[in-house]
Structure 1
Amino acid sequence: APPAAAAAAPRDEMEVAAAAAAVAVPRHKVKKQINLFYCAECEELALKVAAASDAIQLQSINWRNFPDGFPNLFINNAHDIRGQHVAFLASFSSPAIIFEQISVIFALPKLFIASFTLVLPFFPTGTFERVEEEGDVATAFTLARILSMIPKSRGGPTSVVIYDIHALQERFYFGDDVLPCFETGIPLLLQRLSQLPDADNVTIAFPDDGAWKRFHKSLANFPVVVCAKVREGDKRIVRIKEGNPEGRHVVIVDDLVQSGGTLRECQSMACEFSRCGSIWCDIFTSCHCT
């Protein structure tokens, strides 16, 4: 079997397109440029986003620390952004870097700016959105409450843009002082799939029922394979629950991946089920963290 591709679309292209769409407004509607600030982890992505749109002007922040490790931050050009539209490209990939970014996110709207947009591609606590037994802490609700405390700018509440949040009901975790805007990477996937030479041979595979519920309506024009985890002794193994991937170009779709173990098991199962060397497997996920 041909080697599996890491993703169904080039990651850089998708990241730039998604982030640019989140912060950009059609040129004829923009009276002032959008000033884009970014965390240290997103510098490379921010540079690519700015290069993709002349409506975006990059701004910078000095990310420093005091000797005791606590952040020593400075927002450059604070006077110059008064009355202008501002966006911040965040990455909450680690608890260690959340506090310093929250500090900046809370400070920017108070600089007399026209509007403020927070672009948070990955909502890290999205998978822990419910309580299954007494004592569980739904950290998705906790993070949503923190973001709901972002101060208003001159233009009103902050827009919080998140890509493929794990469960759509999490929009109700946010308070009325922010405007959550949930976007998805599926249109980029559909665009990429339409460009494939074997586009008519594509089958979409979902690693579990949750992924199927989340995306099946957006991918209704493709044959579908649904997998499920079953317990065999002390192990949880992925089995094909519905559909037949034999001889098909299988694209495994999920919203976010932490270790990638489930997707790899699902891919291996699809290749095993086909019993031939003609199958090709790709993986698409909006958010990936290791």
Structure 2
Amino acid sequence: MPSGNLKLIAGRANRPLAEKIARYVGVDLVDVYITEFADSEIFVKIREDIRGSDVFVIQPTSNPGYKNLMELLIIVDALKRASAASITAVIPYFGYARQDRKAEPRVPITAKLVANLLTVAGVTRVLTMDLHAAQIQGFFDIPVDHLYATPVFLEHTKQLGNLSEYVVVSPDTGGVERSRFFARQIDVGLAILDKRREKKNEAEVLNLIGNVEDRHVIMIDDMIDTAGTIVQAADILKKRGAKTVTVYATHAVLSHPAAERLQNCAIDRLCLTDTIYMDENKRSIIGEKLHILSVSELFGKAIERIHLNLSVSSLFVNIPKT
């Protein structure tokens, strides 16, 4: 059971997830007032005493990333000045994670910049899920707990019935380790789609390595942004003889026109987590193929164990590194 000095605070980016986490942990969310002035400046006031408390701020930095990130930084600053004992930034979706290296001259490494901003603001620990690039953990000089949605996906596969006719397909070569690990967990084969990215948010799938004919396909990915890659991949798999295509993805970024693409594509079952809040309009557009899987219990368990100084890694299915 959590002690009295455990406090959870929700930013505005995904309050429904924060409420689920709070219910699991068994505490009420801290009363916090967040508003904006006429010029869009964000103002935060903590309406409870949090002196000496272990505070967990739940705020994904999803779209609009700049605003949600700034709101998180301001909440953290308010907590630091209110004498919180520790401040853990619970960031279910870590925005700017795709800007993790200099892929060309004269570009920023924004993921490192965000890490610096969080640390300087007063964050003492970060809890996040399925970073686009795991090495981002090294951008921080404070502890980072990196969770995976894999246990949630594995639990959901029990609803698929007999898995003997299934095969896991990696939508690109970068996701091979994730897909291989998942395939081992459910004891099925693996195939790989090779793609070449010509422009940002555009990808061309070139080749399928492996066999999907007369098989039910499972694809695993860390996020779906504009959905171009995953929709194209599903089309190719169906053309290669796949019976059905089930997609598991952690982060439902769903930039325009993702919802419309997913509505009429070859994907039969689309399973996304609630790390990013999805409005009813997008849900209705995608339709009955959409299944929202909650990661609130994973985050709740991690928060409890961090607060009690227990191991976090022992709780979760991890993706091994080669």
TM-score computed with the length of structure 2 as normaliser:
0.71
> 1: distance between equivalents of 2:116 and 2:52?
27
Q: Identify if the C-alpha distance between structure 1 residues 75 and 204 changes in structure 2 by more than 3 Å, giving closer, same or farther.
A: same
How big is the alpha-carbon RMSD for the aligned residues of Structure 1 and Structure 2?
2.2
Q: Identify if the C-alpha distance between structure 1 residues 245 and 214 changes in structure 2 by more than 3 Å, giving closer, same or farther.
A: same
Does structure 2 retain, via aligned residues, the 8 Å contact 1:239–1:266?
no
> 1: distance between equivalents of 2:15 and 2:36?
18
**Deviation of the 1:231 alpha carbon:** 8.2
| Equivalent of 2:118 in 136, 142, 147 | 147
What one-letter code is carried by the residue in structure 2 that aligns with 1:180?
V
> 1: distance between equivalents of 2:89 and 2:121?
10
**Deviation of the 1:199 alpha carbon:** 2.5
> 1: distance between equivalents of 2:33 and 2:197?
50
Structure 1 equivalent of residue 261 of structure 2: none
Question: Does 2:48 correspond to 1:82?
Answer: no
5+ residue gaps in structure 2?
256-322
Question: Does 2:226 correspond to 1:262?
Answer: no
- Greater C-alpha Rg: 1
5+ residue gaps in structure 1?
1-26, 153-157
> 1: distance between equivalents of 2:88 and 2:197?
44
What one-letter code is carried by the residue in structure 1 that aligns with 2:56?
A
Segments of 4+ moved more than 6 angstroms: none
Equivalenced residues, count: 247
Structure 1 equivalent of residue 6 of structure 2: 34
What one-letter code is carried by the residue in structure 2 that aligns with 1:181?
D
The 3-state SS of whatever aligns with 1:193 is: helix
Does structure 2 retain, via aligned residues, the 8 Å contact 1:240–1:269?
no
What one-letter code is carried by the residue in structure 2 that aligns with 1:162?
T
Does structure 1 retain, via aligned residues, the 8 Å contact 2:170–2:192?
yes
Q: What is the correspondence of 1:170-185 to structure 2 with a 5 Å cutoff?
A: 170-175=136-141, 178-185=142-149
> 2: distance between equivalents of 1:98 and 1:132?
24
Structure 2 equivalent of residue 138 of structure 1: 109
Question: Does 2:16 correspond to 1:44?
Answer: yes
Most deviating of 250-259 and 213-222: 213-222
Structure 2 equivalent of residue 229 of structure 1: 195
Structure 1 equivalent of residue 172 of structure 2: 208
Deviations 1:149-195 (A, max 9, x none): 2426xxxxx220111101111111112xx211111001111111134
TM-score computed with the length of structure 1 as normaliser:
0.78
Structure 1 equivalent of residue 135 of structure 2: 169
> 2: distance between equivalents of 1:99 and 1:130?
22
Percent identity, please.
Answer: 23
> 1: distance between equivalents of 2:98 and 2:188?
27
